Chain A
Amino acid sequence: ETGVTQTPRHLVMGMTNKKSLKCEQHLGHNAMYWYKQSAKKPLELMFVYNFKEQTENNSVPSRFSPECPNSSHLFLHLHTLQPEDSALYLCASRQQDSVQNTEAFFGQGTRLTVV
């Protein structure tokens, strides 16, 4: 238990569907991240939110739409995805602190399959 909870754990969706991934952190952190983990590829940063403001969009296609309503919750809205978007989507949180070098805490991920 890392203090970061993702739901659902598994999701199968068609290319015309709309779905959302949810992430909740119970650690009081002020920064949250979405990463994509594909087979045999490094973790790829998608989005970063700092104090609910998006500070990074790593050239992610518009069919992925993040939402951060408060510092504890992060969503990833999905629509008209492609089969190549099938991957493990990981959420992470971190306490952004100018003094300490703090690590990121990861959720267990949502295994997404696009059919």
Chain B
Amino acid sequence: ETGVTQSPTHLIKTRGQQVTLRCSSQSGHNTVSWYQQALGQGPQFIFQYYREEENGRGNFPPRFSGLQFPNYSSELNVNALELDDSALYLCASKASGGYNEQFFGPGTRLTVL
């Protein structure tokens, strides 16, 4: 069974640029969530996708957007990057129903200069 994978592992961008992060969900999982983890803090919920539609969003501006594809993989897009966007971005997947047991990928470390 393949777990959650994310790419790239590290990324360096400059302020104002745009970035796309990718996530492949665990086999059999149809729901994907994205979290932002700033240094020294707990993960913060960005949004969730279920059946290719956004289903829940945290307190993040519209320049954070996403997609989910028919194979349940997902993208996180961030426009107009700011210095405070520097963080570890975590993707988590889960099967529908159940007890909300989410499985996390290794994350993408984004540095904005």
Do A and B belong to a common assembly?
A: no
Residues of A at the B interface (CB closer than 8 Å) are: none
The interface of chain B, by Cβ under 8 A from chain A, is: none
